[in-house]
């Protein structure tokens, strides 16, 4: 009998520590499925961030290193210089990438580092317990903005995909979401394009992945998915900001 | 090997390339800018990689990545820049990643002054890193010694799988001396990294389990195990095998100077001035600051020595280690300048006479 569905060999046989309804599991699996389908699992090297996914190496079946907070793109660039044919990627959350690591992400994009970044934007700090992130929405409550994020104090949430896309050598920038099966399929295509961009040596590839954090949002998993649809996507519009002809 | 007149900072870079370093990442800061400038000019000629990083935080993170990928790599900076690197350095220590860092010290605290100082002693020797971490620290007194130590440092870093810091001051970085750069060593090719460094990140090629390099421990017993059973034995081995020093004129000495780096040169001149006046002074010159050469102090002539004097460009930061090494055997004194001011041999000699006079 031909199996119609199998557990990807890109994931290790280990139950994750993520909360029910968290998008990390889906994002992990999409990246690993893409690498397996591309036949590149053995040449991939991942850099995990400070945040809930710091120990992603427990689950992702590729060589991995944990980065100091925010520095994943510089760590990845160091690795890529040593192993230019490897598929090197960073996996970063919003506090890691948009706040403390803002400088590294911009400079890696501007240098056109031939790496991929998968940016998990769930509009909140997860591991530290629900503090405000640079991507927390106006009015959204967090433990460090218990009355809701206000414009006067903190300004507007950062649209990282748009910011990164201003860098000319960030040749592929797309924002996707993991809120519906259709969007999950699109996310997988985006991840594949990012690795293809790296393989062809075209420049820096950045995929922002809108994700749910039911625990820190105080929502049931299904409601959290609706929250992505209703609140995040209108502010963080989905779609490609730039894409080279070669991978369209 | 040809002897060439070279500026300190350039010779340091040349020594690293000869030692097989093909990856340099750094951020400009005075007084060490000739190191990245030389690297940017020369590395590409030998198939190496130079990146001017966006900050010292990025420099040390590039190093963390390149070292994890199995390459011989180096960064350099000065004092306040080294302060910015502490988090990344600590990550290199706990993850056991070999790398070499040159610190061309300037005066602090804060932005301080660009003139030479030795006030990073505590930062590099006691470590500004969080957690139980040590870097191996060498303190050369001349450009040639710095070159030899840098050349050797890459081997020590690989052997111990630990960062090694070469700690010089701005004077040695900026001056020129005749120097011999050792012969170029063979460089490990990318395809051979997985054989020589089986822990390195190369991609598992579906042939082995994945390698992971981690500095977070969800289980605190695993971290205790890493510290007690991997780091501590290595630090203990380093304390046994690595201390290096030079001593002169200890026999019959009334006082013993302890000085490192450029200050040791000044102390030796002061020693000669005092000898002309009939005052016999010896010197212990630590070549490694961590591990500190405690055994050197056993060589002091207990029949004649009245005082051990730390001569340093800081507020007695090294004096604490001297006292620990002496274990109360001799009184101590401090002759120092701070803030980017150098001592002169005459000043050291005069202040030594005052110290000895005060003891009678």
Q: What is the 3-state secondary structure (H, E, C) of B296-330?
A: HHHHCCCCCCCEEEEEECCCCHHHHHHHHHHCCCC
Calpha distance B255→B304 (Å, rounded): 8
| pLDDT one-digit tens code per residue, A50-82 | 999 999 999 999 999 999 999 999 999 999 999
Structure token digits, residue B164: 């090694």
C-alpha pair distances (Å), B232 with each of A43, B93, B154? 34, 11, 21
Provide the chain A residues 60-79 that lie in CB contact (below 8 A) with chain B.
Answer: 60-71, 74-79
Q: How near does any CA of chain B get to the CA of A120, in Å? A: 20
- Check residue A1 and give its pLDDT: 84
Inter-chain touch B212–A67, beta carbons under 8 Å: no
- Closest residue in A to B59 (Cα) is A74
The answer to whether the B3-192 and B246-357 domains have the same CATH topology is: yes
In this predicted structure, the answer to whether residue A148 has a pLDDT above a threshold of 90 is yes
Calpha distance B125→B317 (Å, rounded): 10
In this predicted structure, the answer to whether residue B22 has a pLDDT above a threshold of 80 is yes
Position of tokens 């810091």? B165
- For residue A51, give the CATH number of its domain: 3.40.50.970
What are the counts of helices (DSSP H) followed by strands (DSSP E) for chain A? 10, 7
Best A38, A63, A70 member to test B by mutation, with max B CBs in 10 Å, is A63
CA Rg, chain B, in Å? 21
Please tell me the number of Cα atoms within 13 Å of A154 on its side-chain side.
21
As its CATH architecture, domain B3-192 has: 3-Layer(aba) Sandwich (3.40)
Inter-chain touch B58–A76, beta carbons under 8 Å: no
- Nearest-5° angle of CA B13, CA B97, CA A120? 110
pLDDT band at A191 (very low <50, low <70, confident <90, very high): very high
Buried b (16+ CB within 10 A) or exposed e, B326-341: beeebebbbbbbbebe
Structure token digits, residue B49: 């990689």
Give the residues across from B166 on adjacent strands: B102, B138
Least CB-CB distance to A63: which of B64, B66, B202?
B202
Total tally of structural domains belonging to chain A: 1
What is the distance of C-alpha A140 from the center of its chain?
21
Inter-chain touch B69–A55, beta carbons under 8 Å: no
Q: How near does any CA of chain B get to the CA of A235, in Å? A: 30
- CA A71, A74, A77, A79 dihedral sign is negative
Task: Identify whether the C-beta of residue A205 lies closer than 8 Å to the C-beta of residue A193.
Answer: yes
Structure token digits, residue B123: 């930062």
Residue % of chain B over a pLDDT of 70: 100
Look at residue A135 and tell me if it is in a domain. Answer: no
Mean pLDDT calculated for residue range B43-54: 97
**Chain B hits for A60, Cβ within 8 Å:** 210
pLDDT band at B161 (very low <50, low <70, confident <90, very high): very high
With H, G, I as helix, E, B as strand and everything else as coil, classify residue A4.
coil
Mean pLDDT calculated for residue range B243-247: 98
Q: How near does any CA of chain A get to the CA of B30, in Å? A: 22
In this predicted structure, the answer to whether residue B289 has a pLDDT above a threshold of 90 is yes
Task: Identify whether the C-beta of residue B285 lies closer than 8 Å to the C-beta of residue B246.
Answer: yes
- Check residue A94 and give its pLDDT: 97
- Check residue A162 and give its pLDDT: 98
Provide the chain A residues 79-108 that lie in CB contact (below 8 A) with chain B.
Answer: 79, 81-83, 86-87, 103-104, 107
Calpha distance B48→B36 (Å, rounded): 13
Task: Identify whether the C-beta of residue B55 lies closer than 8 Å to the C-beta of residue B84.
Answer: yes
Which of A53, A231, A222 lies closest to A148, judged by CA?
A: A231
Best B20, B210, B217, B222 member to test A by mutation, with max A CBs in 10 Å, is B210
Q: How near does any CA of chain B get to the CA of A184, in Å? A: 27
Mean pLDDT calculated for residue range A192-220: 98
- Check residue B320 and give its pLDDT: 97
pLDDT band at A47 (very low <50, low <70, confident <90, very high): very high
Angle between helices A72-82 and A102-111 (to 10 degrees): 40
Angle between helices B143-160 and B8-18 (to 10 degrees): 40
Residue % of chain B over a pLDDT of 90: 98
Inter-chain touch A57–B214, beta carbons under 8 Å: yes
Mean pLDDT calculated for residue range B17-42: 98
| pLDDT one-digit tens code per residue, A152-190 | 999 999 999 999 999 999 999 999 999 999 999 999 999
Which of A227, A192, A194, A235 lies closest to A211, judged by CA?
A: A227
**Chain A hits for B63, Cβ within 8 Å:** 78
User: Got the DSSP string for B11-48?
Assistant: HHHHHHHHTT--EEEE---TT-THHHHHHHHHGGGGT-
pLDDT band at B251 (very low <50, low <70, confident <90, very high): very high
In this predicted structure, the answer to whether residue B1 has a pLDDT above a threshold of 90 is no
Calpha distance B321→B315 (Å, rounded): 13
- Closest residue in B to A106 (Cα) is B54
Least CB-CB distance to A78: which of B65, B87, B216?
B65
CB pairs under 8 A between A and B: 136
Range of the domain at A231: 24-127+159-213+220-247
Pick the CATH number of B246-357 from 3.30.750.24, 3.40.50.970, 3.90.120.10, 3.40.50.920: 3.40.50.920
C-alpha pair distances (Å), B205 with each of A59, A183, B154, B199, B346? 17, 31, 28, 14, 65
**Chain A hits for B65, Cβ within 8 Å:** 47, 65, 74-79, 82
Calpha distance A145→A149 (Å, rounded): 6
Inter-chain touch A63–B210, beta carbons under 8 Å: yes
In this predicted structure, the answer to whether residue B360 has a pLDDT above a threshold of 80 is no
Best B49, B61, B204 member to test A by mutation, with max A CBs in 10 Å, is B61
**Residue A216, Cβ neighbours under 10 Å: how many?**
24
The mean pLDDT value of chain A amounts to 97
Domain ranges for chain B: 3-192, 246-357
**Chain B hits for A74, Cβ within 8 Å:** 53-54, 57-58, 61-62, 65
C-alpha pair distances (Å), B355 with each of A165, B178, B308? 66, 36, 10
Inter-chain touch A65–B55, beta carbons under 8 Å: no
SS (H, E, C) A129-195: CCCCCCCCCECCCECCECCCECHHHHCCCCCHHHHHHCCCCEEEEEEEECCCHHHHHHHHHHHHHHH
In this predicted structure, the answer to whether residue A2 has a pLDDT above a threshold of 90 is no
Length of chain B (residues): 360
- Strand spans (E) along chain A: 44-48, 63-66, 87-93, 116-121, 170-177, 204-210, 239-242
Residues of B with CB under 8 A from a CB of A: 23, 25, 49, 51, 53-55, 57-58, 61-71, 73, 87-88, 91, 95, 190, 193, 201-207, 210-216, 218
Best A81, A87, A91 member to test B by mutation, with max B CBs in 10 Å, is A81
Look at residue A3 and tell me if it is in a domain. Answer: no
- Check residue A5 and give its pLDDT: 86
C-alpha pair distances (Å), B301 with each of B8, B248, B259, B264? 35, 12, 18, 20
CA Rg, chain A, in Å? 17
- Closest residue in B to A77 (Cα) is B62
Inter-chain touch A82–B193, beta carbons under 8 Å: yes
Inter-chain touch B88–A68, beta carbons under 8 Å: yes
């Amino acid at each position: 009998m031909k199996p119609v569905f199998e557990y990807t060999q890109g994931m290790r046989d280990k139950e994750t520590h993520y909360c029910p309804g968290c998008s990390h599991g889906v994002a992990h699996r999409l990246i690993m499925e893409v690498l397996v389908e591309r036949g590149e699992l053995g040449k991939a090297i991942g850099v995990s961030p400070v945040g809930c996914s710091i120990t992603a190496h427990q689950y992702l079946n590729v060589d991995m290193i944990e980065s100091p907070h925010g520095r994943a793109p510089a760590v990845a660039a160091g690795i890529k210089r040593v192993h230019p044919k490897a598929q090197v990627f960073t996996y970063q959350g919003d506090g890691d990438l948009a706040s403390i690591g803002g400088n590294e992400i911009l400079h890696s994009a501007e240098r056109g580092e031939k790496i991929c970044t998968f940016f998990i934007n769930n509009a909140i700090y997860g591991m530290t317990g629900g503090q405000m992130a640079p991507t927390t929405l106006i009015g959204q409550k967090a433990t460090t903005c218990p009355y809701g994020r206000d414009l006067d104090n903190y300004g507007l949430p950062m649209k990282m995909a748009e910011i990164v896309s201003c860098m000319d050598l960030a040749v592929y920038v797309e924002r996707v979401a993991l809120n519906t099966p259709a969007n999950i399929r699109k996310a997988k295509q985006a991840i594949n394009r990012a690795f293809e961009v790296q393989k062809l040596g075209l420049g820096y590839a950045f995929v922002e992945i809108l994700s749910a954090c039911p625990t820190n949002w105080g929502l049931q998993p299904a409601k959290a998915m609706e929250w992505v649809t209703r609140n995040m996507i209108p502010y963080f519009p989905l779609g490609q900001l730039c894409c080279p002809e070669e991978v369209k | 090997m040809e002897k060439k007149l070279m500026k300190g900072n350039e010779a340091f870079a040349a020594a690293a390339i000869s030692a097989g370093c093909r990856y340099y990442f750094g951020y400009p800061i005075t007084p060490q800018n000739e190191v990245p400038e030389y690297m940017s000019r020369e590395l590409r000629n030998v198939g190496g990689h130079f990146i001017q990083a966006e900050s010292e935080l990025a420099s040390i993170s590039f190093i963390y990545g390149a070292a994890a990928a199995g390459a011989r790599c180096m960064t350099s900076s000065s004092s306040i820049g080294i302060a910015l690197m502490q988090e990344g350095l600590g990550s290199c220590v706990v993850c056991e990643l070999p790398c070499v860092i040159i610190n061309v010290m300037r005066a602090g605290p804060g932005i301080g002054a660009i003139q030479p100082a030795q006030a990073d002693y505590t930062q590099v020797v006691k470590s500004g890193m969080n957690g139980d971490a040590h870097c191996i620290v060498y303190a050369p007194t001349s450009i040639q010694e710095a070159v030899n130590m840098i050349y050797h440092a890459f081997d020590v870093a690989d052997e111990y799988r630990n960062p090694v810091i070469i700690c010089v001051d701005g004077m040695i970085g900026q001056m020129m001396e005749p120097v011999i750069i050792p012969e170029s060593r063979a460089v490990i090719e990318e395809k051979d990294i997985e054989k020589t460094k089986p822990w390195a990140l190369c991609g598992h090629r579906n042939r082995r389990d994945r390698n992971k390099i981690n500095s977070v421990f969800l289980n605190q017993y695993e971290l205790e195990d890493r510290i007690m059973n991997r780091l501590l034995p290595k630090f203990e081995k380093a304390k046994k095998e690595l201390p290096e020093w030079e001593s002169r004129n200890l026999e019959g000495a009334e006082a013993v100077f302890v000085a490192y780096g450029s200050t040791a040169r000044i102390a030796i001149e002061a020693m000669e001035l005092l000898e002309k006046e009939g005052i016999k002074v010896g010197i212990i010159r630590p070549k490694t600051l961590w591990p500190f050469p405690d055994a050197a102090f056993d060589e002091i002539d207990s029949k004649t020595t009245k005082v051990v004097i730390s001569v340093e460009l800081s507020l007695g930061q090294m004096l604490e280690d001297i006292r620990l090494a002496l274990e109360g055997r001799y009184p101590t004194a401090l002759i120092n300048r701070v803030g980017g001011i150098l001592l002169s041999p005459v000043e050291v000699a005069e202040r030594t006479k005052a110290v000895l006079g005060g003891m009678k």
